[in-house]
């Protein structure tokens, strides 16, 4: 790799659903996408699996213990203002045991909140926004639709 040449990074984002089908997001700060709302997640470490990264980042950022995260899809995003490029792997986990999220990294996030999927905050983190819009690489967008509480969710 040529020194000082920008390169794409790999992030893992975790869509965590509670027992009411709400999704956990927080307002980012001090990094790319500051002031936008994003699910927990972060950089994939060397030799780490997507699943292990999802479990680790979720615990580090929210204190929540998730199990068996499932792969959903991938977005490919440029952040022109910050001159960053991220390939983001989206994973899904259903939260068990009514755990409550804590803001473990207050320098990176203003706090975690649950939202219903049809009433998400207006300003969403670019990869998350694109995922919701279906601008996501996946084998079948319909594979992940499922019935829960008499409602079909988008993942």
Q: Which residues bind Mg ion (CB under 5 A)?
A: 42
**Rounded CA separation 59/4 (Å):** 32
**DSSP type of residue 56:** H
Pairing relation of β-strands 23-28 and 37-38? antiparallel
Q: Least distance to Mg ion from the beta carbon of 78, Å?
A: 18
* Residue whose C-beta lies closest to Mg ion: 42
From the CB of 150, what's the least distance to ligand IPR, in Å? 31
Kindly compute the dihedral angle of the four CA atoms of residues 77, 79, 83, 85, in this order, to the nearest 10 degrees: -20
**Which regions of 30-83 does DSSP assign to beta strands (E)?**
37-38, 41-43, 70-79
Of these, 58, 62, 75, 88, which contacts ligand IPR (CB under 6 A)?
Answer: 88
Closest CA to 70 of 29, 16, 124: 16
Identity of the residue, 73 or 150, whose beta carbon is nearer to ligand IPR in the bound complex: 73
In the shown chain, the binding pattern of residues 41 to 60 toward ligand IPR, with x for contact by CB under 6 A and - for none, equals xxx-------------x---
Quote the least distance from Cβ 140 to Mg ion, whole Å.
28
Which positions touch ligand IPR (CB under 6 A)? 11-13, 31, 38, 41-43, 57, 86, 88
């Amino acid at each position: 790799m040529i020194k000082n040449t920008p390169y794409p990074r790999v992030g893992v984002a975790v869509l965590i659903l509670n027992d009411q089908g709400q999704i956990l997001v927080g307002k980012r700060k001090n990094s790319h996408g500051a002031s936008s709302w994003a699910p927990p997640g972060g950089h994939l470490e060397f030799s780490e699996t997507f699943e292990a990264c999802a479990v680790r980042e979720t615990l580090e950022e929210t204190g929540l213990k998730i199990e068996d995260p499932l792969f959903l899809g991938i977005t490919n995003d440029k952040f022109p203002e910050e001159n960053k490029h991220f390939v983001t792997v989206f994973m899904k986990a259903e939260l068990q045991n009514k755990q409550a999220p804590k803001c473990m990294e207050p320098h990176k996030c203003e706090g975690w909140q649950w939202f219903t999927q049809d009433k998400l905050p207006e300003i969403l983190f670019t990869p998350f926004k694109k995922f919701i819009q279906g601008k996501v690489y996946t084998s079948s967008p319909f594979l992940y639709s499922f019935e829960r509480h008499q409602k079909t969710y988008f993942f």
